[in-house]
Amino acid sequence: MASTITAGTLKVTIKEEIYLKGKNQGEITTLSIASVNEIFKRIVSCAASTETTIAVFKSATGGSATFDSALDVEDVRYIRVTNLDDTNSVTLNLQIDVGEDDTGADESASILVGAGHSFIMSTTSDGLAVQDTNANIETDLHNLESIIIYPGSNAADIEIFVASV
């Protein structure tokens, strides 16, 4: 069976608007990502004091039960994770596959995402690294293995949107 899906262009617009001294000091930034033919979008309820994996990325997908729901790490071009809670922050944890061998995460990085805020990432393949020695800049980037949300003592709803080619 041939696919009936035609790839499209994802248009992302970020708009800041603030008036100071009678003038808009904000900005509008627009990004277009061509050839998008897969979208992964869901709202996940994350229970209080519980780690919730909201996405998994692998280089080999669909071949085994472990990878059936994984997103192809080489094909992702855009990720947005939004904290839908109107009061509480959540901790977003990026699990990193340093060996890039699909055996699991070897490192992690955590980012606080405030209430109503979003985290955006452009690629999962060779897209991040962590350096814990002397705070040196790390230029040997690795694959993202998964994204985990920890909401702390309050439950939170999280929206994830992923576009792939």
Q: Is residue 25 part of a domain?
A: no
DSSP for 90-132 reads: EEEEEEEETT-SSS--SEEEEEEE-TT-EEEES-STT-B----
Q: Where residue 123 sits, what CATH number does that domain have?
A: 2.60.120
Burial group, residue 97, by CB count within 10 angstroms (0-12, 13-18, 19+): buried
pLDDT at position 65 is: 44
Predicted local confidence at residue 122, as pLDDT: 96
Torsion of CA 58, 48, 106, 78, to 10 degrees: 40
**Domain count for the chain:** 1
Parts of the chain with a pLDDT under 50: 65
Instruction: Decide if 1 is inside a domain.
Output: no
Residue 24, in any domain of the structure: no
Indicate the pTM of the whole model. 0.91
Residue 63's pLDDT is what?
Answer: 53
Residue 135: predicted pLDDT: 81
- 7 inside domain: no
Q: Is residue 114 part of a domain?
A: yes
Residue 26 within any structural domain of the chain: no
Q: Quick one: tokens of 137? A: 């800049």
What pLDDT is attached to residue 62?
Answer: 54
Q: Among 103, 102, 91, 83, which residue's Cα sits nearest to residue 160?
A: 83
pLDDT at 43: 98
- Containing structural domain, residue 157: 36-164
Whether residue 61 lies inside any domain: the answer is yes
Phi, psi of 124 (to 5 degrees): -110, -20
Check residue 34 and give its pLDDT: 98
For residue 131, what pLDDT is reported? 80
DSSP 3-28: --PPPEEEEEEEEE--EETTEE--EE
Residue 67: the pLDDT is 59
The answer to the question of residue 11 being in a domain is no
